[in-house]
Amino acid sequence: MNCEICGKPIEGRPIRTKIDGSVLEVCKECSKFGRVQKDTPLERKFVSRNKKGNPQKRPQANRQNVQRRRREEPMDELVEDYNVLIRKARESKGWTREELGAKMYEKVSVINRIESGKMEPDIKLAKKFEK
C-alpha cells in the first residue's frame, strides 16, 4: 500500500491520520502533518423504539438473493525504468527539457528530477507523459 500523501510504499501498517478534515492512510513520516486517528473509531448505533420501549425490528433482506458487484479498477503502475523511457521519448522528438515542460505545463525542475530518477511522477503526471 502507498502513502496517500507522498506516494511511497508504506512499511508495516498504514497510520490513519486526519489532515485538513480528511482521514488518510499515510506513512509514519507523513503522519506528523495531521492528527493520528484511533484504529477502531466508536460507532453509535441508534435504535428506534416503539411506544412500549422495545426496539423495533426492521425487515432484513435475504442475503442469498442480494448480489453485490465488485468494482475492480485497473491498477496504474509505473514501470521501473520510467526515467529512461521519458528521456528517450523526449530526445527522439528532438525536444529540450524546457520544450517538454512548456508542452506539458510543468516546471523544468520537475522534468529534470523525473528524468534523473530522483522523483516518481504521480498518476496524473504519468498520464501527461503518455500523451
Give the model's pLDDT for residue 71. 55
Distance CA 52, CA 49 (A): 8
φ and ψ at residue 112, rounded to 5 degrees: -60, -45
Give the model's pLDDT for residue 108. 92
Within the chain, which residues score under 70 in pLDDT? 39-76
82-130 is a CATH 3.30.565.10 domain: no
Neighbour tally for 89: CB within 10 Å? 13
**Residue 15 is placed in which grid cell?**
497510520
Q: Where are the domains of the chain?
A: 1-39, 82-130
